[in-house]
């Protein structure tokens, strides 16, 4: 019997009830972004449950310790404001854990009360609670606006706002990777190094959320962008923001306030988006792309041509974060696959238009929804099925009920591992995506084929 | 951390001092009262521990919030009640299927547990109020799913903006007629831990559900199992044993539970309390209102399971049941003993630390003891003093500002349904024979002298404890898991059991033995250093010599 047995085929419009969301709240995104700063302890300004939930969800996804503190509001703080709690917290954090940076994000509670983080930081500094050379930064992340992606973006913007332009340009390029895996951030660094461009990647969770097991526990692992590097982002040649939803705000702020020209690109998932990334990167940095990059690209093209017969015409339902979905849909279309249902919980009018544009002139009609939920997507699938699901772990219920293979991709992945280590961005990441998709489709075919057509060679 | 570096001979006072050393003076003073060197076995007056007090801001806590305790822990495992979180999307999302509560819906097919329902409040709802959206959401849920019950959970901003979720729920209940709708004021900031949320949930279930179904329930020996949440299928194993013994479990609060189970709880003749912290007051209320006496049980560990079954049989005092229980124990134990004998050579003499929940840190010590493992240190995440020191301290507990926020409901004997299950003489005879009603001796009593009992342990202290005492296994939750493992010590989740379970009952004990054997015997913990890191100096010998 089906697990989601109460989901009816008939679709009725819902105005108030969200069922099986395809998003979560802002602070978790801010917490993840903060972990990409070297020596940073994220701090959740609100009641302790938010911090506990965000730490648990990030831990389950990354399988790594996620240290973060909280203001632990009780009723008093909720009525009189959280100033005292945060100042006490800052004092305790620097005394006990000694981080380089505390990155504070708000919650729906502290936002509703109207706590002003910068005012509290000032007070903490004046009363000597912030040791010399240490940094406090903050981002407003009300949970009732946007989604986890918005929270990520807000914290990344707060990181950009640390910039102290000196007027002297460096030879570096800022790259804002957006909410991708630590492995993806590592791959972006590798690609940029191959092209020969010196970059400041922020945030950078590579080395933080895929740290080795050595018998030692470092609350602050070696990875992450440093405050010194962030201060210099205002002197960079330019900024490449990967993803309109995740990264553009920070890049545009650097452009407007520090005169660092920005280019907003799609996240480099798949062939075309990676091509554009490399092309813009070499233009901004004024370098030529080495053959080794073209070689990797050619390998991806080769694999696409080898596998095309299995991908052609396959119908896909996909959900997740807007920036990821846009690039993935483009990749699927480039394989002659058909992303027929596309859902994000994150709001954004441009999203639907962008997906429709990618799927225009294709031999299928795309159903796309921003501010949608997985319940709706499941109903679409019940009405007309697909061959493949691409999205987070919560899709496994639909996968089992409807007997459709699921590619786990996005956030959160709670029931599989490897995503921390194996990138899906860039040409190499594209190879991995293709390998996984092909595996799923062929495993399915091998399971379903009758004995007569069960074949050794494909 | 190589096992050879084991530091022994640290006095408990030294360890305590080491844990407190780094704190600012005010924090150190408070934590000092929450860290107890156990002397309960000898001292005339057991030492006091500070518990159920506020978490210190900035200290990385293991605790969650009131909403988590209410929606996540207590109401999460009920399968045919549709739970709507009223608030921004996060809270509903994070409590969506993350506790590994299992359920069996094969009898009627109704199961809303794989679903997450939320009003997904937006900024305009915060500014103008969210009551209309909540009413509309309840209506939509009713129209699509037609559940027997809808529960509404308040998140932090809902309390702040003052949405009257109870009035909205009442109105919708009246409108529907065939669907019970009620709400929980379980805003995250209330209380100091999950415990407040358990209380809020239990009170509402007791007020709005228990006693609703007046149809008598069949069964010779009818019990309720309180404080069992069917994590990893624990409840299934306990129910299997009950069935085998001929004991009828009317309702489990709230593992694998249904609307009707709660509604019929008053038909039981005995309440068996597993998790003392989360539910002891419900047992008291059931006794006051319906006359059902309660006993403390523990189905974690094969000996505890046998003991609890015998206690239930003794209560009913029926030879048929007593014989049946003995037969079941005799039938189940050989397999358990065989499994135990297999792991004992690997586990005996090893050490454990447990920092979980509000009873698990106690219950699981029985299982470790069966494997010959000693508990060096333990503590609860959200317990009150009685969970450490025993129920005799309850009269001493003074309500503070935070506990006053949590509604206490007054219960009286129900005019129609109150029915004392035994005569005064029968109770007296049982008690004189050593039978203990409403009794819980607390965790401290069972732990060795000189062990460290720590309330509301935090990440810093956890890592420090592991560094200093190097236990062979550490038990806590997902947030603690990987920092402990980075230290080279295996960590077992006892909130969600990682991916394992059941660990309750006889079959569960076998599962746990195997799991702990796997963890403490795993080769991976010997791989921490590469060969060239173990002896970094160059030597003059070569492998081919």
Give per-residue burial for B504-522: e unless 16+ CB within 10 Å, then b.
Answer: bbbbbbbbbbebbbebbee
Averaged pLDDT for residues A384-404: 98
Does pTM top 0.95 for this prediction? yes
Interface membership of A49 toward B (CB under 8 Å)? yes
Q: What is residue B267's predicted lDDT score, i.e. its pLDDT?
A: 98
pLDDT band for B277, please (50, 70, 90 cuts): very high
- The answer on pLDDT for B102 being more than 80 is yes
Specify the range with the lowest mean pLDDT, choosing from A71-85, A250-264, A390-404, B303-317: A71-85
Averaged pLDDT for residues A255-277: 98
- The Cα B356–Cα B59 span in angstroms is 17
Nearest to A86 by CA among A104, A68, A107: A104
CB atoms within 10 A of CB B390: 19
Count of CA atoms in the C-beta half-sphere (13 A) of B324 = 19
- The Cα A152–Cα A160 span in angstroms is 13
Stretch (H or E) spanning B176: helix B165-176
Q: Compute φ and ψ for A262, nearest 5 degrees.
A: -115, 150
pLDDT band for B32, please (50, 70, 90 cuts): very high
pLDDT band for B8, please (50, 70, 90 cuts): low
Residue contacts between A and B (CB atoms, under 8 Å): 270
- Residue B198 annotated among the catalytic residues of the structure: yes
Q: What is residue B407's predicted lDDT score, i.e. its pLDDT?
A: 86
Residues above pLDDT 70, as percent of chain A? 100
- The Cα A376–Cα A343 span in angstroms is 9
Contacts of A89 (CB under 8 A, 6+ apart): A43, A69, A70, A71, A72, B57, B58
Please give the biggest Cα pair distance in chain B.
Answer: 93
pLDDT band for B46, please (50, 70, 90 cuts): low
> Of B79, B86, B99, B384, which one is the catalytic site residue?
B99
Averaged pLDDT for residues B21-25: 96
| DSSP of B142-175 | HHHH--SEEEEEE-HHHHHHT--HHHHHHHHHHH
Q: What is residue B41's predicted lDDT score, i.e. its pLDDT?
A: 47
- The answer on pLDDT for B1 being more than 80 is no
| DSSP of B336-394 | HHHHHHHHHHHHTT-EEEEE-TTTHHHHHHHHHHHTT-EEEEEE-SS--HHHHH-GGGG
Instruction: Please state the three-class secondary structure of A296-359 as a single string.
Output: HHHHHHHHHHHHHHHHCCCEEEEECCHHHHHHHHHHHHHCCCEEEEEECCCCCHHHHHHHHHHC
Give per-residue burial for A415-435: e unless 16+ CB within 10 Å, then b.
Answer: eeeebbebbbbbbbbbbbbbe
Neighboring chain B residues of A91 at a CB cutoff of 8 Å = 24, 58
- The answer on pLDDT for A34 being more than 50 is yes
SS3 of B181, please?
Answer: strand
Q: What is residue B358's predicted lDDT score, i.e. its pLDDT?
A: 86
- The Cα A340–Cα A316 span in angstroms is 6
State pLDDT tens for residues A171-209. 999 999 999 999 999 999 999 999 999 999 999 999 999
- Residue B146 annotated among the catalytic residues of the structure: no
State pLDDT tens for residues B364-398. 999 999 999 999 999 999 999 999 999 999 999 98
Interface membership of A254 toward B (CB under 8 Å)? no
Work out the mean pLDDT of chain A and round it to a whole number: 97
Q: What is residue B518's predicted lDDT score, i.e. its pLDDT?
A: 98
CB atoms within 10 A of CB A315: 17
> With a CB-CB cutoff of 8 Å, which residues 94-113 of chain A face chain B?
95-97, 107-109, 112-113
Yes or no: say if B252 and B230 are a contact pair by the CB < 8 Å rule: yes
Q: Which DSSP letter does residue A408 get?
A: E
Averaged pLDDT for residues A42-69: 98
Work out the mean pLDDT of chain B and round it to a whole number: 94
- The Cα B276–Cα B389 span in angstroms is 12
Q: What is residue B538's predicted lDDT score, i.e. its pLDDT?
A: 64
pLDDT band for A54, please (50, 70, 90 cuts): very high
For residue B276, CA distances in Å to A130, A218, B284, B385, B477 come to 43, 37, 11, 12, 19
Contacts of A2 (CB under 8 A, 6+ apart): A401
The more confident residue out of B545 and A359 is A359
State pLDDT tens for residues B119-162. 999 999 999 999 999 999 999 999 999 999 999 999 999 999 99
Q: Is residue B319 packed enough to be buried (19+ CB in 10 Å), middle (13-18) or exposed (0-12)?
A: exposed
Interface membership of A272 toward B (CB under 8 Å)? no
The answer for B146, left when phi > 0, alpha when psi is -120 to 50, beta otherwise, is: left
CB contact under 8 A, A21 and B92: yes
Instruction: Please state the three-class secondary structure of B500-518 as a single string.
Output: CCCCEHHHHHHHHHHHHHH
Q: What is residue B3's predicted lDDT score, i.e. its pLDDT?
A: 46
Of A89, A211, A215, the CB nearest to B58: A89
- The answer on pLDDT for B4 being more than 80 is no
- Residue B91 annotated among the catalytic residues of the structure: no
- The Cα A70–Cα B161 span in angstroms is 22
- The Cα B204–Cα B207 span in angstroms is 5
Neighboring chain B residues of A68 at a CB cutoff of 8 Å = 60
What is the distance in angstroms between the CA of the first residue and the CA of the last residue of chain A? 34
Interface test with A, best of B73, B134, B148, B156 (most A CBs within 10 A): B156
- The answer on pLDDT for A445 being more than 70 is yes
Interface test with B, best of A108, A115, A129, A140 (most B CBs within 10 A): A108
Neighboring chain B residues of A414 at a CB cutoff of 8 Å = 98
Q: What is the ipTM of this complex?
A: 0.97
């Amino acid at each position: 019997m089906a697990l989601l047995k109460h989901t009816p085929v008939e679709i009725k419009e819902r105005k108030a009830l969200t069922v099986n969301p395809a998003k979560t709240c802002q602070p978790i995104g801010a917490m993840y972004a903060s972990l990409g700063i070297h020596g940073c302890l994220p701090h959740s300004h609100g009641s302790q449950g938010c911090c506990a939930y965000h730490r648990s969800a990030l831990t389950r996804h990354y399988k790594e310790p996620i240290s973060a503190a909280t203001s632990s509001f009780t009723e008093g703080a909720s009525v009189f404001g959280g100033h005292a709690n945060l100042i006490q917290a800052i004092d305790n954090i620097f005394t006990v854990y000694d981080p380089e940076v505390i990155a504070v994000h708000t919650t729906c509670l502290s936002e509703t009360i109207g706590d002003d983080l910068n005012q509290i930081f000032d007070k903490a500094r004046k009363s000597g609670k912030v040791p010399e050379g240490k940094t406090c930064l903050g981002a407003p992340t009300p949970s009732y606006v946007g989604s986890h992606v918005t929270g990520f973006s807000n914290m990344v913007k707060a990181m950009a706002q640390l910039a102290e332009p000196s007027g002297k340009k460096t030879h570096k390029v800022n790259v804002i990777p957006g909410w991708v895996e630590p492995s993806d951030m590592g791959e972006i660094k590798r690609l940029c190094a191959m092209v020969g461009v010196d970059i400041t990647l922020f945030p950078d969770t590579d080395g933080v959320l895929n740290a080795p097991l050595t018998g030692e526990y470092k609350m602050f692992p070696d990875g992450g962008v440093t405050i010194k590097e962030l201060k210099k982002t205002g002197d960079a040649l330019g900024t490449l923001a990967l993803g309109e939803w995740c990264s553009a705000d920070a890049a545009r702020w650097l452009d407007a306030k520090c005169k660092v020209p920005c280019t907003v690109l799609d996240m480099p998932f798949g062939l075309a988006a990676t091509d554009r990334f490399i092309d813009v990167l070499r233009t901004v940095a004024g370098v030529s792309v080495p053959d080794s990059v073209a070689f990797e690209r050619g390998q991806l093209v080769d694999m696409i041509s080898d596998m095309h017969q299995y991908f052609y015409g396959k119908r896909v339902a996909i959900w997740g974060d807007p920036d990821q979905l846009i690039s993935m849909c483009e990749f699927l279309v480039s394989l002659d696959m058909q992303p027929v249902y596309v859902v994000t919980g994150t709001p954004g009018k441009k999203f639907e238009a962008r997906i429709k544009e990618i799927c225009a002139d294709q031999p299928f009609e795309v159903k796309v929804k921003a501010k949608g939920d997985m319940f709706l997507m499941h109903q679409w699938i019940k009405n007309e099925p697909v061959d493949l699901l691409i999205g987070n772990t919560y899709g496994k219920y639909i996968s089992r009920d409807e007997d459709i293979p699921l590619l786990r991709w996005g956030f959160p992945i709670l029931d599989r591992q490897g995503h921390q280590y194996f990138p899906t961005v860039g040409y190499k990441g594209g190879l991995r995506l293709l390998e996984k998709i092909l595996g799923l489709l062929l495993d399915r075919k091998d399971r379903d084929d009758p004995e007569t057509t069960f074949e050794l060679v494909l | 951390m190589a096992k050879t570096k084991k530091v022994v001979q640290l006095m408990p006072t030294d360890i305590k001092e080491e844990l407190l050393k780094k704190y600012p003076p005010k924090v150190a003073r408070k934590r000092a009262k929450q860290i107890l060197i156990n002397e309960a076995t000898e001292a005339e007056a057991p030492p006091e521990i500070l518990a159920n007090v506020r978490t210190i801001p900035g200290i990385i806590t293991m605790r969650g919030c009131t909403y988590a305790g209410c929606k996540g822990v207590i109401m999460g495992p009920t399968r045919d009640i549709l739970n709507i979180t009223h608030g921004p999307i996060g809270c509903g999302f994070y409590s969506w299927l993350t506790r590994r509560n299992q359920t069996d819906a094969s009898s009627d097919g109704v199961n809303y547990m794989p679903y997450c329902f939320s009003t997904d409040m937006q900024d305009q709802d915060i500014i103008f109020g969210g009551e209309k959206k909540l009413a509309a959401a309840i209506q939509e849920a009713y129209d699509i799913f037609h559940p027997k019950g809808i529960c509404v959970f308040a998140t932090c901003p809902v309390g702040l903006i003052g949405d009257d979720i109870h009035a909205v729920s009442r109105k919708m209940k009246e409108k529907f007629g065939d669907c019970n709708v009620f709400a929980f004021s379980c805003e995250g900031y209330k209380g100091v831990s999950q415990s407040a949320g358990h209380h809020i949930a239990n009170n509402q279930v007791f007020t709005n559900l228990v006693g609703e179904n007046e149809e008598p329930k069949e069964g010779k020996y009818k019990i309720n199992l309180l404080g069992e949440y069917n994590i990893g299928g624990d409840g299934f194993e306990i129910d299997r044993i009950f069935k085998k013994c001929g004991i009828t479990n009317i309702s489990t609060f709230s593992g694998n539970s249904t609307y009707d189970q709660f509604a019929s709880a008053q038909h039981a003749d005995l309440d068996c309390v597993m998790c003392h912290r989360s539910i002891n007051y419900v047992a008291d209320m059931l006794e006051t209102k319906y006359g059902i006496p309660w006993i403390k049980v523990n189905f974690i560990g094969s000996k505890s399971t046998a003991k609890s079954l015998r206690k239930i049989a003794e209560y009913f005092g029926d030879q048929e049941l007593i014989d049946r229980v003995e037969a079941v124990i005799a039938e189940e134990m050989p397999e358990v003993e065989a499994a135990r004998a297999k792991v004992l050579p690997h586990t005996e003499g090893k050490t454990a630390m447990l920092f979980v929940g509000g009873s698990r840190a106690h219950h699981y010590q029985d299982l470790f003891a069966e494997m010959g493992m000693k508990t060096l240190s333990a503590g609860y995440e959200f317990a009150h003093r009685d969970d450490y020191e025993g129920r005799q301290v309850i009269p001493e507990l003074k309500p503070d500002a935070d506990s006053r926020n949590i509604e206490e409901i007054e219960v009286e004997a129900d005019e129609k349904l109150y029915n004392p299950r035994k005569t005064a003489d029968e109770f007296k005879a049982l008690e004189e024979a050593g039978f203990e009603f409403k009794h819980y001796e607390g965790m401290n009593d069972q732990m060795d002298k000189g062990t460290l009992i720590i309330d509301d342990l935090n990440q810093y202290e956890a890592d420090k404890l592991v560094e200093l005492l190097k236990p062979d296994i550490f038990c806590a939750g997902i947030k603690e898991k990987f920092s402990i493992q980075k230290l080279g010590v295996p960590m077992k989740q006892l909130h969600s059991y990682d991916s394992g379970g059941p660990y309750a009952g006889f079959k569960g004990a076998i599962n746990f033995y195997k799991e702990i054997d796997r963890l403490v015997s795993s080769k991976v913990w010997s791989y921490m250093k590469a060969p060239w890191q173990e002896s970094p100096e160059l030597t003059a010998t070569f492998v081919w010599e």
